[in-house]
Amino acid sequence: MRLAVVPGDGIGPEVVGEALKVLDEVAPSVETTQYDLGAARWHSTGELLPESVLSELREHDAILLGAVGDPSVPSGILERGLLLRLRFELDHHVNLRPARLYPGVRGPLSAAQEIDLVVVREGTEGPYAGTGGLLRKDTPQEIATEVSINTAFGVERVVRDAFTRASLRPRRKLTLVHKTNVLTHAGSLWSRVVEEVSLEHPDVAVDYQHVDATTIHMVTDPGRYDVIVTDNLFGDILTDLAAAVTGGIGIAASGNLDVSRANPSMFEPVHGSAPDISGKGIADPTAAILSVALLLDHLGEPELARRVEAAVAFDLATRDHTNPGGTHAVGDRLAALVSS
Amino acid sequence: MRLAVVPGDGIGPEVVGEALKVLDEVAPSVETTQYDLGAARWHSTGELLPESVLSELREHDAILLGAVGDPSVPSGILERGLLLRLRFELDHHVNLRPARLYPGVRGPLSAAQEIDLVVVREGTEGPYAGTGGLLRKDTPQEIATEVSINTAFGVERVVRDAFTRASLRPRRKLTLVHKTNVLTHAGSLWSRVVEEVSLEHPDVAVDYQHVDATTIHMVTDPGRYDVIVTDNLFGDILTDLAAAVTGGIGIAASGNLDVSRANPSMFEPVHGSAPDISGKGIADPTAAILSVALLLDHLGEPELARRVEAAVAFDLATRDHTNPGGTHAVGDRLAALVSS
Ligand SMILES: CC(C)[C@H](C(=O)O)[C@@H](O)C(=O)O
Ligand SMILES: CC(C)[C@H](C(=O)O)[C@@H](O)C(=O)O
């Protein structure tokens, strides 16, 4: 197995270091190659994602990414030019984001809840398409547009994936989240596709919720959700909220999947580069380590994946949450746990 | 003062009835005219908002609206054809949505928090513009688009309003919420406008946050927010979340303001028509009643507005939240309180 590693910016390299430590314990035969994409490379060469690097990345079985983004780079440059470019070029149409409240973790909600949901976020179109522009910039008549592009092709493949995942989970529930009462065109397409694909999955219970209402239920009754399928932007928003109610983005993992396997999938913590704490050795590497579990699952190593998850579950249940230890300490504990 | 009343659908008429009871106590001279817009009218006549009714509405000083939406009507018909049409035709560019955690109210968060924020949501453009469409409908090549339209004119007037409001509040803080790292065109316009207008308000501290990050802080540290300014869609999402963390949409009020006063402004609870509980007499009319306070403020009656708010604050501090009483009981209590 050949893994490309993109540590990226801020705390990215710190958490990726620990994730690789854990990976090396469970799967020592994995070969890794590091790629120095990110703010530093952009500053020194102006490059974001050279074609040659993209071709090399394509030759790998998977990618592990730390984080992308730096205050020294204008907003959008690294995000659109590197992170989203990777997701789009490598056709990562299923952005998989589980959110689980682990025993021992105290989320911000007062009501005791069992939370175990997964958001299947579309990853290659919608409001993230990047189509739009500025007309009459810097005049009083300026107009800025953003175009959300939703295709039957793109919606169907992610909805299909979400149904399959739902049918394999104990509760077999799927919730479409959108804003069909306002975004009537995109909403109509998403609703029709969900209705059609649901005919192939009579075992899956389907419901629909407006995105604004979902934010309410996510804080009053998050236990109700099983699988949520939604577009790129709503998925971005809801997965940060779901991460928050399950104890924070320090433990939220994600996979950017090309489920057709034509391209390598990419695994990354949901959190960003967190420049405010970078270099201090205090970032929690748990999200990056749980992303390794998703990676192992995707590569057909479910037993190894379960071992990583079990180690994380044990550590979260037993760690002193007021003083979890620094980045290295958490990584060392988890590396020891997976090899024991 | 001439008030147009649109009770609308579901629990709309129930909560509006109580709101008018309270209004009648504090401002008995207000003349009201009821308009039967909503699902029933659409079913019987096919009409949503006839031009003649729109002209009549324009002749009023303000509008009080209950709720719009019914499961018997396809999604979007009433919302786009009636509610959003009112907001757009009457140029309600400032959608004002305060969220306050009242003493006595227990929100879903475990950490004790003082929450007192106001979201200034743009109300007449952005992703709500309604521009977009379906191409090759019902074929595998179908494409659905939604276009977010942001104008310097539209962004500037709502940002200006938000700065003015921030400068009049004790903390004088304004947070722009957007997704500038992905929606770079619209994000660029919003950022530049906030930067420009901030020069006129050196007393207001300005910061920026991505919308996904805002959902995290809204559940971990909502007390940090003072005034939030944002676009139509992000504002829709964040105000439901803000309502949830301050005790629920049963008490969240809103004003759709044309701050130029060329058109009547419209006041409505943030909640919807709640068909599941309509007709049962159990809907909480507090949000509609607090919307009356916003209405009185807008019409230059701040003392009356404070009286309504004080009554609500007293009732929320003393009511039995497990058994607050039915719709009428809450309305009766608040009507008695404002007149005492
Ligand atoms: C950094 C940003 C472009 C990204 C996104 O919006 O997808 C991030 O928020 C995420 O959720 O992975
Ligand atoms: C009913 C719907 C069109 C409306 C909106 O999206 O603005 C509602 O959610 C609101 O927040 O007032």
pLDDT in tens, A189-200: 999 999 999 999
Residues of B in contact with A192 (CB under 8 A): 138
Query: Ligand 2 within 6 A of B83 CB?
Result: yes
User: Is the CB of B240 less than 8 angstroms away from the CB of A145?
Assistant: no
User: Closest-lying ligand to the alpha carbon of B82?
Assistant: 2
pLDDT band per the 50, 70, 90 thresholds, residue A36: very high
Q: What is the mean pLDDT of residues A120-126?
A: 98
Domains of chain A: 1-93+256-340 (3.40.718.10), 108-245 (3.40.718.10)
Q: What is the pLDDT of residue B112?
A: 79
Residue of A nearest to B133 (CA): A185
Q: How far is the CA of B107 from the centre of ligand 2 (A)?
A: 22
Q: Respond yes or no: is residue A231 known to be catalytic.
A: no
Q: What is the pLDDT of residue B340?
A: 83
Q: What is the mean pLDDT of residues A158-164?
A: 98
A215 to chain B, closest Cα gap in Å:
5
Residues 6+ apart with CB under 8 A from B192: A138
Q: Respond yes or no: is residue A221 known to be catalytic.
A: no
Give φ, ψ of B227 to 5 degrees.
-110, 130
Q: How far is the CA of A80 from the centre of ligand 1 (A)?
A: 10
Residue of B nearest to A157 (CA): B140
User: Closest-lying ligand to the alpha carbon of A76?
Assistant: 1
Average pLDDT over chain A, rounded to whole? 97
Residue B292 contacts residue B322 (beta carbons within 8 Å) = no
Retrieve residue B318's tokens.
Answer: 């003393």
Residues of A in contact with B244 (CB under 8 A): 215-216, 219-220
Ligand 1 mutation target, pool A84, A257, A271, most atoms within 8 A of CB? A84
Q: What is the pLDDT of residue B113?
A: 85
Residues of B in contact with A191 (CB under 8 A): 75
Query: Ligand 2 within 6 A of B79 CB?
Result: yes
Q: Across the interface, which of A180, A237, A245 has its CB nearest the CB of B212?
A: A237
Q: What is the pLDDT of residue A340?
A: 83
Q: What is the pLDDT of residue B255?
A: 98
Q: What is the pLDDT of residue A293?
A: 98
Give the start-end residues of each E strand in chain A: 2-8, 31-34, 62-67, 94-100, 116-122, 126-135, 143-151, 173-178, 205-210, 227-230, 253-257, 265-269
% chain A with pLDDT above 90:
98
User: Is the CB of B128 less than 8 angstroms away from the CB of A182?
Assistant: yes
Size of interface A-B (CB pairs under 8 A): 212
Residue B11 contacts residue B276 (beta carbons within 8 Å) = no
Q: How far is the CA of A89 from the centre of ligand 1 (A)?
A: 16
Q: Respond yes or no: is residue A236 known to be catalytic.
A: yes
Instruction: Classify burial at A1, counting beta carbons within 10 Å of its beta carbon; exposed 0-12, middle 13-18, buried 19 or more.
Output: middle
Atom in ligand 1 nearest the alpha carbon of residue A236: 11
User: Closest-lying ligand to the alpha carbon of A122?
Assistant: 1
Q: What is the pLDDT of residue A51?
A: 98
Residues 6+ apart with CB under 8 A from B310: B337
Mutation target vs A (from B128, B147, B185, B192; most A CBs, 10 A cutoff): B185
Q: What is the mean pLDDT of residues A266-282?
A: 96
% chain A with pLDDT above 70:
100
Ligand 1 mutation target, pool B179, B184, B209, B212, most atoms within 8 A of CB? B212
Residues of B in contact with A80 (CB under 8 A): 181-182, 184
Longest Cα–Cα distance of chain A, Å, equals: 66
- By DSSP bridging, strand B94-100 and strand B31-34 are unpaired
Atom in ligand 1 nearest the alpha carbon of residue A233: 6
User: Is the CB of A153 less than 8 angstroms away from the CB of B133?
Assistant: no
Using the predicted structure, report yes or no on whether residue A7 has a pLDDT greater than 90.
yes
* Residue nearest atom 11 in ligand 1 by C-alpha distance: A236
User: Closest-lying ligand to the alpha carbon of B126?
Assistant: 2
Closest to A327 (Cα-Cα) out of A1, A7, A18, A8: A18
Using the predicted structure, report yes or no on whether residue A112 has a pLDDT greater than 90.
no
| Weakly modelled stretches of chain B, pLDDT under 70 | none
* Residue nearest atom 5 in ligand 2 by C-alpha distance: B236
Q: Does B326 count as an annotated binding residue?
A: no
Using the predicted structure, report yes or no on whether residue A231 has a pLDDT greater than 90.
yes
Q: What is the pLDDT of residue B310?
A: 98
Residue of A nearest to B128 (CA): A182
Q: Respond yes or no: is residue B179 known to be catalytic.
A: yes
Residue of B nearest to A77 (CA): B181
Q: Respond yes or no: is residue A173 known to be catalytic.
A: no
User: Is the CB of A141 less than 8 angstroms away from the CB of B153?
Assistant: yes
Distance CA B270, CA B276 (A): 17
Q: How far is CA B303 from the centre of its chain?
A: 21
Q: How far is the CA of A337 from the centre of ligand 1 (A)?
A: 31
Q: Across the interface, which of B189, B219, B238 has its CB nearest the CB of A144?
A: B189
